[in-house]
Amino acid sequence: MNNKGIGAVFCLISAILISAKYISAAIFMSGVNTWDATLFAAGLGYVGPFLSIASAVALIVGILFLGYGVYEEIRKNKK
């Protein structure tokens, strides 16, 4: 797999981790009778920062791999 493919996979992983954060907060709040923004914010606080940090790292790595893959392709086409 080339660098652009690896970068796309890391960006996909980042999107999955971000959605997992919100889905898990919704699951934690499933027993609540009424929903509002403060309760959902508390649910997000219960999830913790790990998924946000992991998704940010995966997104940065994905963008770096994508950028390097595009750079290699441009450099190869110039020769």
pLDDT of residue 52: 95
Q: Are 3 and 69 in contact (CB under 8 A)?
A: yes
Query: pLDDT in tens for each of the 79 residues of the chain?
Result: 799 999 999 999 999 999 999 999 999 888 888 888 899 999 999 999 999 999 999 999 999 999 999 999 999 998 7
Ramachandran region, residue 58 (left: φ > 0; alpha: ψ -120 to 50; beta: rest): alpha
pTM, whole model, 2 decimals? 0.86
pLDDT of residue 74: 92
pLDDT of residue 79: 77
